[in-house]
Amino acid sequence: MTYRFSSQSEERSPFVRIGRVFLNAARNWRITSADISKEEDAQGILPFQGSQQFKFLNKALLAPDGSVEDGKVSSISEIEEAKAVLRLVPIWTTCLGYAIIYAQSSTLFTKQGVTMDRHITSRLQIPAASFQSFVSVGVVVFIPIYDRIVVPIARSITGKPAGITMLQRIGIGIILSFLSMVIAASVERERLKIVVEYGLVDLPNATVPMSVWWLLPQYLLFGIADVFTLIGLQEFFYDQVPKELRSIGLALYLSIFGIGSFLSSFLISVVEKATSGPGQDGWFSDNLNRAQLDYFYWLLAALSAAALAAYFYFAKSYIYNRSNSL
């Protein structure tokens, strides 16, 4: 029996290596392109060995004092690692719009459901929060449809083994999340019409005579969007970094939804402060029959559309720069 053991105790962590690249590049901000070219020639670095994007990071090849003392400079491989992570930032940023919308299914959607008719029979009604399970139902139902129907059709059209690229998959999910906000806004607009029609505006605890099943399409659409975007993001951030940086790739993926939740709370706070006042109910009034959740959903739809446009722009740029760096 044999086994292989590799010791990497002297290897610096990815966070340290990348952090050192940015730190050295910042310290050398006065160094010119000519100085960088001289250093690359001195180290025998050929043009094809480094990406032409983010050339300013190549300043990390030199020590702050202009020397090349070992330990103070970064290698070309470490600089390329930093470039690979930095190249992901525009995609990461534009996907925050999806994360903000993602946070609504467990918050505002549930508040809507509480006010609606949730009876299955005359004596049995379902909790509003239980509708979140339909997001998972959408995922479970659509995954085999995606694998058995969508992928083969896309494969026959594009000729690619996966049918569509990871970036295309993410983009489709963002489009679906945009549509879910449009549907949510339309449903809430209809609910408020029924509230006015039945004179329930000042009765926050009254049940609006509108079935909670009206919320089902937006929940299911969220689940289908997850099949595209969540899985696509995980694959993308794991695949598009060197194998030594896979942990950073997954950290970037998870941070999208953590920061997106904070941004959602911040946006709600700003909107509430801007729309409420003395004697004036804001968009998030405690009395949901006086609130304007539909306006907020339209706002999210607009933000999603803007993020979608930026996403496709940066995705196209990413593909171009990625192909040129290989």
Cβ atoms of 139 and 226 closer than 8 Å: yes
Instruction: Check whether 9 has a pLDDT greater than 50.
Output: no
pLDDT tens, 240-251?
A: 888 878 888 888
Instruction: Give the mean pLDDT of 187-192.
Output: 94
Instruction: Check whether 2 has a pLDDT greater than 70.
Output: no
Q: How far apart, in Å, are the Cα atoms of 204 and each of 13, 112, 207? A: 55, 12, 8
User: What's the CA gap between 97 and 174, in Å, rounded?
Assistant: 8
Q: Which residue has the higher pLDDT, 114 or 55?
A: 114
Residue in 198, 208, 176 with CA at minimum distance from that of residue 112: 208
- pLDDT for position 324: 57
- Neighbouring CB atoms inside 10 A of 227's CB total 23
Instruction: Give the mean pLDDT of 97-104.
Output: 90
Instruction: Give the mean pLDDT of 131-158.
Output: 91
pLDDT tens, 248-275?
A: 888 899 999 999 999 999 999 999 999 8
User: What average pLDDT does the structure give for the chain?
Assistant: 85
Instruction: Check whether 4 has a pLDDT greater than 60.
Output: no
Share of the chain above pLDDT 90, in %: 44
pLDDT tens, 296-317?
A: 999 999 999 999 999 999 988 8
Sheet strands (E) in the chain: 116-117, 208-211
The SS3 call for residue 119 is strand
User: What's the CA gap between 250 and 255, in Å, rounded?
Assistant: 8
pLDDT tens, 191-240?
A: 999 999 999 988 888 889 999 999 999 999 999 999 999 989 999 998 88
Residue in 135, 131, 88, 134 with CA at minimum distance from that of residue 111: 131
Q: Which residue has the higher pLDDT, 43 or 243?
A: 243
Q: Which residue has the higher pLDDT, 324 or 122?
A: 122
Q: Give me the helices (H) in 28-128, please.
A: 33-42, 76-94, 96-102, 108-115
- pLDDT for position 175: 95
8-state DSSP, 125 = B
Q: What is the CATH number of domain 95-325?
A: 1.20.1250.20
CATH 1.20.1250.20 domain range(s) in the chain: 95-325
- pLDDT for position 37: 74
User: What's the CA gap between 145 and 199, in Å, rounded?
Assistant: 44
Residue in 303, 309, 280 with CA at minimum distance from that of residue 292: 280
